[in-house]
Structure 1
Amino acid sequence: MKWTGLYASVNRAEAESALASFTDGSAVDAWAKPTVGAAVKSGLVKGSDIGLKPTSPITSAETAAIVQRMLEKIQLIDVRNSK
């Protein structure tokens, strides 16, 4: 994600801090924490009312939301003026 200006990963402390706001943040596997933490810190991943759900498969709707947030952040789309 370097070309987007968004974090590709964060250090362990930053990842733990970003994931701590979710009740299931500690369930994220150690190998995934830097990248998931970066996605949370960048605002691409927001979780749901029950948390991140790291052991559940990601849905197509969740994937679409992440892609949309990324495209908005790098200013390739502007959904505020899309109507």
Structure 2
Amino acid sequence: MRIRQVKEVEIEGLGERIKQARLNSTKSLEQICEEVEVSRTYWYDIEKETLKGALSVENLRKIEEVLGVDFGVSLKGDSND
């Protein structure tokens, strides 16, 4: 039997931190989006913090991996804890 737990947390300024990490990266926006598997529009919504829903922890971890950074976001039960 599977049980699903959904938890959302607000991380102030995360979009700007992601943007700065992108700007400091040697990768192009197109390359980053391809590796993270998101569209440019979705990426800009992440940076501007205007997503209609929440950023999934899976996408956050992909972003961290592709950009080579750790944003220090820890959620109980996350595989990075």
Q: Provide the TM-score with structure 2 as the length reference.
A: 0.29
Q: Provide the TM-score with structure 1 as the length reference.
A: 0.28
Which protein has greater RCO, CA pairs closer than 8 Å, 6+ apart? 2
